[in-house]
Amino acid sequence: MEARYEILPGLPSTGPMPEQFSATGMGKHSEGFVVRFHSSAGDPWVGNFQGGLGECEGVYREPGLRHLIVVSAGQAYVVDPEERALVRTFGGGICHVLPVPDLELLVFDNGIWLEGMGASGLAWKTRRLSWDGFRELRVAGSSLFGEAYTPMGDSWHEFEVDLETGEAVGGSYNGP
């Protein structure tokens, strides 16, 4: 059975204490992004996930696996809901997550480069594409299109990423 979840508006006032998750070990006594998990292993349980430096929040299925990826203010936690266990953390400044179901891929945007996660983990990471941010991200076939920001002239530059390889053309950053 596939694990189910629900995002809660805050910590529950009754019931068992929530499981605390922090990428740094800090903030475990503060309310973060709160998720209730319903698994086949038994009673539902609640996770309290401390945030990172981004704005993105949500829960996503890890491609090809039974794990869930919880993103709390840009910090990603890969969780095994059946075992109530943290598998790993990554990110910290995630701005956006773009699911690409046709390719069994999740694309993570940190405002500077993009990373694709597939069924076997990190599939690719682009070179730096932007000075500070992306907009208009969209998928067409096996390509991701968007615009990357540069403060020089306060402008946006188009780019394209091959979703199978992570190879990129364009963008606003042309440095090393």
pLDDT tens for 108-139 read 999 999 999 999 889 999 999 999 999 999 99
Phi and psi of 25, rounded to 5°? 85, -5
Residues, the chain: 176
List the Cα angle 145/149/154 in 5-degree steps: 140
Asked whether the predicted pLDDT for residue 175 surpasses 80, the reply is no
Give 66-90 pLDDT, tens digit per residue: 899 999 999 999 999 998 999 999 9
Q: What is the C-alpha separation between 80 and 155, in angstroms, rounded?
A: 42
Write down the domain spans for the chain. Answer: 1-92, 95-176
| Contact between 124 and 133 (Cβ < 8 Å) | no
Reported as a pLDDT band with limits 50, 70 and 90, residue 2 is low
Q: What is the pLDDT of residues 45-58, one digit of tens each?
A: 999 999 999 889 99
Residue 174 has what pLDDT?
Answer: 84
Select from 117, 37, 45 the least CA-distant residue to 108.
Answer: 117
Q: What is the pLDDT of residues 142-160, one digit of tens each?
A: 999 999 999 999 999 999 9
Residue 176 has pLDDT above 70, yes or no: no
DSSP track, 72-139: ETTEEEEEETTTTEEEEEEESS--EEEEEGGGTEEEEE-SS-EEEEETTEEEEEPPP--SS-EEEEEE
- pTM equals 0.93
Q: What is the pLDDT of residue 122?
A: 93
Looking at domain 95-176, which of 3.40.1710.10, 2.40.10.480, 1.10.238.10, 3.40.50.720 is its CATH number? Answer: 2.40.10.480
Nearest one of 116, 30, 35, 16 to 81, comparing CA atoms: 35
CB atoms near residue 84 (< 10 Å): 14
- At residue 28, the pLDDT reads 83
Can you tell me the distance from the alpha carbon of 90 to that of 152, in angstroms, rounded to the nearest whole number?
Answer: 30
Q: What is the pLDDT of residue 1?
A: 47
